[in-house]
Amino acid sequence: MSLDDVAQAIRECNKLYGSTLSDRNPANFMKDLLRGANASKNWPASVAARRFTGIQRTGDGECFEFIPYRPGQTEPFPDAFKVREDAPRFLVQSISLPLATKSLGRSDETWLIQTAINLRVVETHFAVAPAFPLLELTHLQMGIKLRSTEIDALFLGKAGDPKNPDSVLVTCEAKQAKDPLIPSQIINQVQAAFAEAEVDTVVPIGLRTVRGVGFYLTEFEAVRRDDAEALDELTLASDAIYELRPPVKGI
């Protein structure tokens, strides 16, 4: 479905039901639909009955695509990577955050990822509970807007022989506690990372807040460049809960 298709559908619904929804930003249609815990409930029952879900598409005037359920799928948008309460837990200090900074704490993704970066949560994970071993990890940038996707945080790792290490990118998708990790978004990030950088391996991770506790980090199996184009599914490789001490406002 194109952006024009969605904008036209909004206008038709406004006319039919007397609603006043704006048709000016159809690019956010799928993002808004998938936000929160009710994505499956908000999906048309007639489409779900035909066992079709939707996936966001970007670029070339595209908005989203209807795709069939996977084998065993029972709802349009399953939360496949919920917080696993029995995941390993590690303490992370937050006393280094200035009080003035803590007082401005919010629940949005920007604050989430900024806090995680300031406290080196991702670096801690690859030091204490990694599936993919790294020699070094450096944060590169936040909020990278690319043509086909947005990467909330990007890291450069070094792996292999310490004398001649290989470069590895780590892409990070951040979500609030109420929002599920969406595999298609993470897959898009992996593919975009290969398009932007000369590396042979990308390790995708998800970072989700656990209210009043800290972060739930999901590390997925590393992806090789030769496999990136055909990638259509993520496999969890490692996960852990990182408890912030003391608690941080908004997290």
- Say if CB 173 and CB 208 are below 8 A apart: no
Maximum CA extent, the chain = 67
Average pLDDT value over all residues in the chain: 94
What's the confidence (pLDDT) of residue 238? 98
Distance of alpha carbon 105 from alpha carbon 250, whole angstroms = 5
Q: Name which of 151, 96, 157, 152 is nearest 126 in CA terms.
A: 157
Q: What is the per-residue pLDDT for 139?
A: 98
Average pLDDT of the segment spanning 68-73: 93
Q: For residue range 123-165, list pLDDT tens digits in order.
A: 999 999 999 999 999 999 999 988 778 999 999 999 999 999 9
Q: pLDDT value at position 88?
A: 98
In the numeric block, which tokens belong to residue 21?
């929804």
Residue 102, pLDDT above cutoff 90 = no
5 pLDDT band, cuts 50/70/90, is very high
Please report the sign of the dihedral spanned by the C-alpha atoms of residue 147, residue 151, residue 152, residue 156. negative
Distance, CA of 180 to CA of 134 (rounded, Å): 27
Q: Domain segments of the chain: what residues? A: 3-68, 89-245
Distance CA 27, CA 33 (A): 11
pLDDT value, residue 119: 97
pLDDT digits (tens, 9 = 90+) for 73-83: 999 999 989 99
Per-residue pLDDT at 73: 92
Give yes or no for residue 201 having a pLDDT over 90.
Answer: yes
pTM: 0.89
Burial class (CB within 10 angstroms; exposed 0-12, middle 13-18, buried 19+) of 233: exposed
Looking at beta carbons, which pairs linking 193-198 to residues 24 or more positions away fall under 8 Å?
193/151, 193/154, 193/169, 194/225, 194/228, 196/146, 197/167, 197/169, 198/167
For 148-184, letters b (16+ CB in 10 Å) and e give ebebbbbbbbebeeeeeeeebbbbbbbbbbebbbbbb
CATH code of domain 89-245: 3.40.1350
Element (H, E) at 27: none
User: 216 with 174: CB under 8 angstroms?
Assistant: no
Omega cis (within 30) before 246: yes
DSSP 8-class letter at 221:
P
